[in-house]
Amino acid sequence: EYTMETRTPVTVLGLGLMGQALAGALLGAGHPVTVWNRTPAKAGDLVARGARLAGSAEEAVAAGPLVIVCLSDYDAVRGLLGPLGGALGGRVLVNLTSGTSQEARETAEWAAGQAAAAYLDGAIMATPAAIGTDAVVVYSGPQAAFDRHEPALRSLGSGATYLGADHGLAALYDVAVLSLAWNVLNGYLQGAALLGAAGVDAVTFTPIALKGIETVNTWLPGYAKQIDEGAYPAYDSTLDTHVAAMNHLIHESEALGVNAELPRFVKALADRAIAGGRGGDGYAALVEQFRSPAG
Ligand code: FVH
């Protein structure tokens, strides 16, 4: 059984909505937690729960071997950590701020220059409410650092996942999953707008929409194999068949006075694939349209 004495002391820099949730989860898991925020008042609840509020970021960093930073963006991270210089020496820095893979790799180089013990870049694929429960948080960087601090990182969410040594991977997975989320949401909103125009409210539409999403989920493993192999035999439906249905979506949208930009864009991708000879292939063949810039 771990106690407050045996759990790794953790520093959390940044107490926005996410930083507060991270620090709260660490406290809940029994870690000694030192916090710092530009606006100290945001530490109130955490201090009431046992966190120690440091008087400066430098003092916070000095408090333990594991430093988690979660600010608005990488510019803020650079602005905060830059002047701290050697204070990070010997510590593992985990950056859960959203950014690009290039920013992650640059920060890794910078951290190495400060003699940090290791730099892990992470991405949080969850909202603050899921932190400490089933949040998926992905990490990339040196595996030894992830392994050493996995118990603390797992207290942020049971979905703590190590992706690989390339520091840029976490940021890349992050945008890949965001792309997925926005495309699913856009499809749902298009459907809600269409049905709304026909007098069906979103609450009525949603159970069927959820079934649709579940069905698409079951297609992914088969399509993944096809994408990796570069061959897209149509075992379910050809692109030609999909395009006929895309035309129905465009016509219905136009007839109901609903925005048809998204359906037209989706059909334009399929049309290009068909013009390239993919009409008899399955939907996964469209990956080739995403692999290079349009034009
Ligand atoms: N909230 C969410 O659901 C998402 C889910 C997925 C990933 N994110 C990312 O987490 C980062 C922080 O997001 P957040 O929701 O905590 O954001 P805010 O509540 O706006 O808090 C921002 C904190 O950053 C501090 N800060 C900003 N600029 C500076 C600076 N120049 N120097 C020092 N600190 C700075 C800010 O301090 P203050 O305004 O309270 O003084 C907050 O602590 C973000 O990358 C999301 O994409 C969250």
pLDDT computed for residue 295 by the predictor: 57
Token digits for 259? 């925005």
- Residue 19 Cα to ligand 1 midpoint, Å, equals 7
C-alpha 65 chain-centroid distance: 25
* Cβ(157) – ligand 1 distance below 6 Å: no
Residue 5 pLDDT greater than 60, yes or no = no
Tell me the best of 71, 74, 139, 178 to mutate to test the pocket of ligand 1, counting ligand atoms within 8 Å of each CB and taking the most.
71
Fold of the domain spanning 10-164:
Rossmann fold (3.40.50)
Q: What average pLDDT does range 30-44 have in this prediction?
A: 98
Tell the residue nearest (CA) to atom 7 of ligand 1. 124
Q: What is the pLDDT of residues 210-231, one digit of tens each?
A: 999 999 999 999 999 999 999 9
* Cβ(76) – ligand 1 distance below 6 Å: yes
Q: Which ligand 1 atom is the nearest neighbour of the CA of 73?
A: 45
The band of 198, judged by pLDDT with boundaries at 50, 70 and 90, is: very high
Q: What average pLDDT does range 91-101 have in this prediction?
A: 98
Burial 35-68 (b: 16+ CB within 10 A, else e): bbbeeeebbeebeeeebbbbeebeebbbbbebbb
Residue 150 pLDDT greater than 50, yes or no = yes
Residue 2 pLDDT greater than 90, yes or no = no
Q: What is the pLDDT of residues 114-135, one digit of tens each?
A: 888 899 999 999 999 999 999 9
pLDDT computed for residue 35 by the predictor: 98
Q: What average pLDDT does range 281-293 have in this prediction?
A: 96
The band of 281, judged by pLDDT with boundaries at 50, 70 and 90, is: very high
Q: What average pLDDT does range 244-256 have in this prediction?
A: 98
Please provide the average confidence, as pLDDT, over all residues in the chain: 96
CA distance 93 to 119: 5
- Residue 127 Cα to ligand 1 midpoint, Å, equals 12
Residue 3 pLDDT greater than 90, yes or no = no
Domain boundaries, the chain: 10-164, 201-290
pLDDT computed for residue 1 by the predictor: 40
The band of 171, judged by pLDDT with boundaries at 50, 70 and 90, is: very high
Specify whether domain 201-290 bears CATH 1.10.10.410.
Answer: no
* Cβ(17) – ligand 1 distance below 6 Å: yes
247, 181 Cβ separation under 8 angstroms: no
pLDDT computed for residue 81 by the predictor: 94
* Cβ(22) – ligand 1 distance below 6 Å: no
pLDDT computed for residue 75 by the predictor: 95
Q: What is the pLDDT of residues 70-90, one digit of tens each?
A: 999 999 999 999 998 789 999
Pick from 263, 213, 220: which is nearest to 242 by CA? 263
Task: Tell me if domain 10-164 and domain 201-290 are identical in fold.
Answer: no
Residue 57 pLDDT greater than 80, yes or no = yes
CA distance 20 to 24: 6
Q: For the packed helices 169-197 and 101-113, what is the interaxial angle rounded to 10 degrees?
A: 150
